[in-house]
Chains A and B, each alone.
Chain A
Amino acid sequence: MTAAMQNLFEHAYKALRKAQPQEPGWLSELREEAFENFRALGLPTIKHEEWRWTNLKAIAARDWQPAGPTHIDEAALKPYLIPDADEIRLVFVNGHFAESLCKLPPLPEGLVVQPISRVLESDESLHLKLARYAEQTNPFTALNTALFTDGAYIRAGNSLTVETPIHVLYVSTLDEPAEISPRTLVLAGENAEIRVVESYAGLGSSARFVNSVSEIVAKRNAKIRHVKLLRETDATSHVGWNEINVERDAEVTAHSINLGAGLARNDVHALLAAEGAHCNLNGLVLGHGSQHFDNHVVVEHMLPHGTSNQLYRAVVDDKSRSVFAGKVIVRPGAFATNAQQQNNNLLLSDDAKVDTKPQLEIYCDDVKCSHGATSGQLDPNAVFFLRSRGLDERAARNLLTYAFANDVIEHIRIDAVRTYLETIMAERFAGLLGG
């Protein structure tokens, strides 16, 4: 490790500690410990098996400073809002709570949607929940714990069903390079049901490093539908960790939709911690230019009768690159586990690249596990068929690409988000609408 690397984020950490003198003691201790972990771990390099296809030079090369709060107009946010949606919205600008941009209608009893900074003051039991799920031995989760300024806290009480999607928008606007660490905590009580959209957007052309961590916990028989929507700028390096904890008979459906970022790495770790836990983890990458997307997914079956499904698809054009590494672990004793994993990749250009590593790690015999991975181009017969129906080459290819990507989108069970994404995709594959 070089001297420069050892000092990585040291300045950012000191600056933040200075800015947050009023924090409760437990949080300071937690941050101290987490940063100690980060110092010990350092940034991974491509020699680490889990990072062999993603180079973090862009992050390691700079002495990042924390981004300061700033104001933006609601009009500037418009493109990132979900149109026509009846939504509950929390907005964070550069990692700081922006109350004026939020939309908080009267909430049903039992539902809490607040910035963590406020919950710190009002809820003394927060230390039992925050940073208790995501593994602190990962350098980026540790770094986030040490550096996060604020983030969303969403908690649904037992047996509460909230149909209105809760939209957490993390937007950054920067003229100088800076680092932003958003933190999200989603808790669904027993039998509760909630829908959460976590979206990341960028304004301005300056380089930035966004390091997010979300902890998503579904208690017994709860249901969570979660979508992570990435629309960062090409100057952004985004590293995100989603820790999903599923308890008995609960179900979590999480989508990670990657539409923009210079470099993005999403880690999803789903722990099926009890019997009958169920999760669906899907993802979509639409890459162009020289974007680099890396999705790592680990599903861990701890106890019997769990099921998990994964569907990850990538469409890469120009010089973009998509990495997928999915792992299903079935621990000893997790009988009658049913785990499926599917990864499909579509290369639209000769300079695009796809790397994939679907893995099964099984320590128990009574299981049904399978995975599949494909990589290739559009089926020439299908293109021919559409052309014979009167579509031109471009429209035919766009239609097929749209259909390929839509297989992931159609699994999203938050209607407004699905419709919105379908529109975005239709625009992206513009030949489709033009006919």
Chain B
Amino acid sequence: MADKNESIQALAEQEYKHGWVSDVDADQLPPGLSEDIVRAISAKKNEPEWLTEWRLRAYRHWLKMKEPDWQKPKHAKIEYDKIIYYSAPKKKPTVTSLDEVDPELLETFEKLGISLDEQKRLSGVAVDAVFDSVSVKTTFREELSKQGIVFCSFSEAVADHPELVKKYLGSVVPYTDNYFATLNSAVFSDGSFCYIPPGVRCPMELSTYFRINSAGTGQFERTLLIADEGAYVSYLEGCTAPQRDENQLHAAVVELVALKGAHIKYSTVQNWYPGDKDGKGGVYNFVTKRGKAEENAKISWTQVETGSAITWKYPSCVLKGDNSVGEFYSVALTRDRQMADTGTKMIHIGKNTKSTIISKGISAGKGDQTYRGLVQIMPRATGARNYSVCDSLLLGSECGAHTVPYIESGNSSAVIEHEASTSKISDDQIFFLRQRGLSEEDAVSMIVNGFCKDVLSELPMEFAVEAQKLLGVKLEGAVG
């Protein structure tokens, strides 16, 4: 047992590997929030008036709201007046060639292991890299545009496709939705926009990398993804962040619109700075993600959450159309003093709607995590079906794992099943593997991998490798 305790100790104490700061001059607005700041952000981005008005409406609504406090992870008070709501890299690079990109940026990407060049050449993944707030580089745009696919930064979409943005912005997550989504609606800096025309199957995995960079900047990303009738798209989002001592707020909004027969697969790997051993610093990841599925549409969320001091998000599916399908696959790993309160909401409105929830939580050190989910069957959702599994694995005697599923069934023909278990790795399992010749560390690693397999196998190939690598890094101490 001593060995295992040591290895778990080692896992719990391992340092954050992606901590560095790159020196790029940022064009910043003064900290604080007011109508003027909202107008200034909007002006800096040359936005049309309706969008400025929309932001202002959100801001005014936000002033009337109270910060929620029902969540399990309690955090230090966020001083909204001290946040810098807009920061853009000064040299705005053009998008025609890599040579014109600030070399420092390229270096940063290389550290992250996402050299745009390599990505382009080897994996065929189009990367819309978001560095702080302004989109730096969009690749493969031309190739995609041949099929009518629009994949660009949010600001470009506002300029080039205002009709689409106007139609769908806030249609899934209205600006009144919740405290952080409303704040985002008022001050969002940039993000990604994607539109897949009817019947088109997006030929490659679309991808965005986020990084929080300038000290004291909150990041307010906004992603809007629309799959028109019968379209298919797989979208990847991945993040790492440099080491910081101050808490950084990240309040993003992701809206997915799956029209009739469309299929959206949205995958996330999150590895932001989790704070140090004592819980100092680290990112607050308070994100609102929601998708709306029309008839026969399918929305699938996959997430691997290993970073952030606090992860607090519930990627949700509104299954509005008949026969629509929602899926949620999640692995969350908390260690040191990391906290996670995550899960999903499946709102069954249409007939014969189906949803699947697979959530795996691993809690180590003093980590604390909560699965919180809602399965709601509306009275007219005849034949709705839900299946949920939430398992938690505990490593270390000081960690916590909690499961809070809400099930509301208003239709007698609906069938809902939920099961959850919480346990440590059993001594029998370790003993079995050890008597097969594996070291204790290998045994732990193998069991953890097996524990997460159901979720990792849902990730697209390229991402599955990254996710496995990430879990590997996180478990390195345990594997020896």
- Give A contacts to B, CB under 8 Å: 49, 332, 345, 347-377
Contacts and interface: CB of A to CB of B under 8 A. Distances in A.
Given A49-B70, A369-B422, A354 B415 contact: no
B403 interface: yes
A360 B412 contact: no
B333 to A, nearest CB: 15
A155 to B, nearest CB: 38
A366 B397 contact: yes
Contacts of A365: 394-397, 399, 424
25 contacts: A347-B412, A347-B414, A353-B409, A354-B408, A355-B407, A356-B408, A357-B407, A358-B420, A359-B402, A359-B403, A360-B402, A360-B403, A360-B422, A362-B401, A362-B422, A364-B397, A365-B395, A365-B399, A368-B423, A370-B421, A371-B419, A372-B418, A373-B407, A374-B415, A375-B377
B420 A375 contact: no
Contact of A372 (B410, B412, B419): B419
A374 B416 contact: yes
A422 B402 CA distance: 37
A367 B422 contact: yes
A359 B406 CA distance: 9
Contact of A358 (B399, B405, B417, B423): B405
A361 B372 CA distance: 12
Contact of B415 (A332, A361, A366, A375): A375
B398 interface: yes
Given A348-B412, A370-B419, A357 B400 contact: no
Dominant secondary structure at the B interface = strand
Chain B's interface size range is: 35 or more
Interface in B374-415: 377, 379, 392, 394-415
Given A350-B412, A369-B421, A373-B405, 9 more contacts: A353-B408, A353-B410, A358-B403, A360-B392, A361-B402, A362-B394, A370-B420, A371-B419, A372-B418
B280 to A, nearest CB: 22
**A-B complex: 10 closest residue pairs judged by Cβ atoms:** A347-B412, A365-B394, A376-B415, A370-B421, A360-B403, A375-B416, A375-B409, A372-B419, A373-B418, A369-B422
Interface of B: 70, 377, 379, 392, 394-424
Contact of B416 (A352, A357, A369, A373): A373
A350 B403 contact: no
A49 B71 CA distance: 11
Contacts of B403: 358-360, 371
A376 B414 CA distance: 5
A350 B415 CA distance: 13
Contacts of A332: 397-398
A370 B413 CA distance: 26
B419 A376 contact: no
Contacts of A351: 379
A355 B398 CA distance: 32
Given A352-B412, A365-B394, A368-B423, A357 B418 contact: no
A369 B410 contact: no
B388 to A, nearest CB: 9
Contact of A369 (B398, B411, B423): B423
Nearest to A358: B405
Contact of A377 (B379, B398, B412, B418): B412
B418 A355 contact: no
B100 to A, nearest CB: 53
Given A360-B402, A367-B424, A377 B416 contact: no
A349 B408 contact: no
A376 B412 CA distance: 6
B413 A377 contact: yes
A287 B423 CA distance: 35
Contacts of A366: 397, 424
A377 B396 CA distance: 41
A161 B379 CA distance: 51
B217 to A, nearest CB: 34
A354 B421 contact: no
